[in-house]
A and B are shown apart, each in its own frame.
Chain A
Amino acid sequence: MKIIGFITVIITALLLLQAERDFPNWGDPESPASSYRLSQHYITETYHETVVPNMVTAVLADYRGYDTLFETVVIFTAGIAIIGILRVFGGNQAEHKEPQLTKQKPDLILQTTCRLLLPIIQLFALYVVAHGHHSPGGGFQGGVIFGASFILLALCHDLKYAQKWVPERRILNLAGFGVLLYAGFGVAALMFGENFLDYGILTHLLPGSIEEARSHSMLGVEIGVGFTVTAIMFSIYSLLSSNGKMKEGI
């Protein structure tokens, strides 16, 4: 198996190296990726069409709204799949060869540091979501940071302690709410007779002009993405660390 794998890898590498000759040089301004009119349109028109200075967020949440919606659904589905695979109810199953870490006394320094850091991390996560269309950031990044704050809590204390704030049921509700919030913006646009996820028409609901309505809707869908990513990140951690029992964790 190793030899077959090695030969396959060598052949693929040679083919790729052969193809690499046709690629543009590093940083070439004339490369297809940089000179194609789609890229130019995104760069020159994004601000005029959406009032969002961060083009990445605008392309992510508006021009490619479908892509991002289903990306969020992929994450949601992954979370559901992991729950379906790992979650054990009751806890009498597969008790035999579980590696037991030695139980230690709670560490004062660790817990104090965690208590000090946690609000800062969460505040930063909210900033990353809320300021995502003016500086680097957005729902995915902010959601991951927010999820990481709960993971830190679970690591410094234990999973039981973290679950006081984010119980399993609330996690699932949040994940579903995020996807529905995103899709809700699309449906709201449909209700006004526009295309799905075409936020311009939401100017009837949101303050400001058409362009500002796009900007505000982007914030809304980013918040939805943030909810889902936060919930699923913590859900993945808690299930993997507790072997699906959701009890003590690491």
Chain B
Amino acid sequence: MEFLQHIADSFNYWIFIILMMIGLYAMVAKNNLVKKLIGMSIFQTAIILFYVSIGYKENATIPILSHALIHEVHHEEAGHYKEAVQEAHHDEGNAAEAAHAAAEYAAEKAGKYLEHSDHAILDINPDDYVNPLVHVLMLTAIVVGVATLGVGLAITQKLYGEFGTVEESEIIEAIKFEK
């Protein structure tokens, strides 16, 4: 029972491992080149599933800020930062050395945003959004998967044109016979 509970808790890893092993078996053991390529695709899909599932976070949404949020904070936040900068400059005169450095830093930081004060300074909670990095990595992995699949199919097609078969063993036989 405990074991089943463990599987239920980490079912995403189990599915990932099962899919990956199906793909690996197809690549290693199948004799047909097209089936090998199908195995490669399943393998890649398993890895995509793995990455996306470790990026998932409970009570979090996709890593895209909503426009409503941006517009809401738009004006008032910019105003706040203007005040902060003025305050920072005001304090500068009578503050100690440490406070001086801190104020300068704050002013610099606020000033950076102030140059174009029409941008909102959003207070974003990292717990609300999932990690965007895994999605970026998988986005490129999908495209590279298509590219490798294309090259693989092209080689298979060329071999078929040359030997008239896509069975690996028959191709090896034919090459031996030629020698």
Interface, chain A (partner B; CB < 8 A):
1-2, 4-6, 8-9, 12-13, 16-17, 20, 23-29, 31, 33-34, 38-40, 42-44, 46-48, 51, 53-56, 58-60, 64, 67-68, 71, 74-75, 77-79, 81-82, 85-86, 94, 97, 134-136, 138, 140, 144, 208-209, 211-212, 229, 232-233, 236, 239-240, 243-244
Decide: A43 and B124 in contact? CB cutoff 8 A: yes
A-side interface mostly: helix
Which residue of the partner chain A has the closest CB to B130?
A: A34
CB-defined contacts of A43 to chain B, threshold 8 Å: 63, 124, 126, 128-129, 131-132
CB distance from A182 to the nearest CB of B (A): 13
Decide: B132 and A74 in contact? CB cutoff 8 A: no
CB-defined contacts of B147 to chain A, threshold 8 Å: 74-75, 77-79, 232
Interface, chain B (partner A; CB < 8 A):
9-14, 17-18, 20-21, 24-25, 28-29, 53-60, 62-67, 70, 113, 115-116, 119-122, 124, 126-136, 139-140, 142-144, 146-148, 150-151, 153-155, 157-158, 161-162, 164
CB distance from B155 to the nearest CB of A (A): 6
Report the separation of the CA atoms of residues A16 and B20 in the bound assembly, to the nearest whole angstrom: 10
Complex partner residue of B121 from A40, A48, A78, CB under 8 angstroms? A48
CB-defined contacts of B54 to chain A, threshold 8 Å: 23-24, 31, 33
Instruction: Knowing A13-B21, A23-B54, A43-B132 are in contact, say whether A75-B144 is a contact too (CB < 8 A).
Output: yes
Decide: B154 and A13 in contact? CB cutoff 8 A: no
Report the separation of the CA atoms of residues A24 and B143 in the bound assembly, to the nearest whole angstrom: 28
Number of A-B residue pairs, CB cutoff 8 Å, is 186
Closest 9 CB pairs of A and B: A5-B29, A78-B147, A5-B28, A27-B58, A53-B65, A55-B132, A209-B116, A55-B63, A39-B131
Complex partner residue of A53 from B18, B64, B113, B158, CB under 8 angstroms? B64
Decide: B122 and A26 in contact? CB cutoff 8 A: no
CB distance from A174 to the nearest CB of B (A): 16
Report the separation of the CA atoms of residues A16 and B122 in the bound assembly, to the nearest whole angstrom: 41
Decide: A86 and B154 in contact? CB cutoff 8 A: yes
Report the separation of the CA atoms of residues A56 and B138 in the bound assembly, to the nearest whole angstrom: 11
CB-defined contacts of B146 to chain A, threshold 8 Å: 144, 233, 236
Decide: B10 and A59 in contact? CB cutoff 8 A: no
Decide: B143 and A140 in contact? CB cutoff 8 A: yes
CB-defined contacts of B148 to chain A, threshold 8 Å: 78
Complex partner residue of B150 from A1, A58, A140, A236, CB under 8 angstroms? A236
